[in-house]
Amino acid sequence: MTKAEIVAKIAEDAEITLVQAQKALNSFIEVTTTALKAGDKVALVGFGTFSAVNRAARIGRNPQTGKEIKIAAKTNGKFTPGKALKDLNAKPAKAAPKAKVPAKAKKK
């Protein structure tokens, strides 16, 4: 589902205009981002919790050259689903079937 589809669904369900729904969604995103940057958590009971997670600096490896590189410390956003999302009875997406490789013909 895209952002435009979410805005349309919010507008329909709340019986508001698309512009109002867009402003509401943008406000939620901005408030959540600001709170995470400040180190706060945003908890939506039954839905989940957004939080900021600090990642320590570490040594990595360039896969092309094998040379060690320093990876700087940074802060990432994290979402932990609440009980309502964990208890969904949705079926997992099926993996695409693997292509069958024909068996090699025996040499005579």
- 8 A C-beta contact, residue 50 and residue 42: yes
pLDDT above 80: residue 49: yes
So what's the pLDDT on residue 24?
A: 96
Look up residue 54 and give its DSSP letter.
E
pLDDT tens digits for range 65-91: 999 999 999 999 999 999 888 888 766
Architecture per CATH, domain 3-86, reads as Irregular (4.10)
The predicted pLDDT at position 14 comes to: 94
Residue 72, classed as helix, strand or coil, is coil
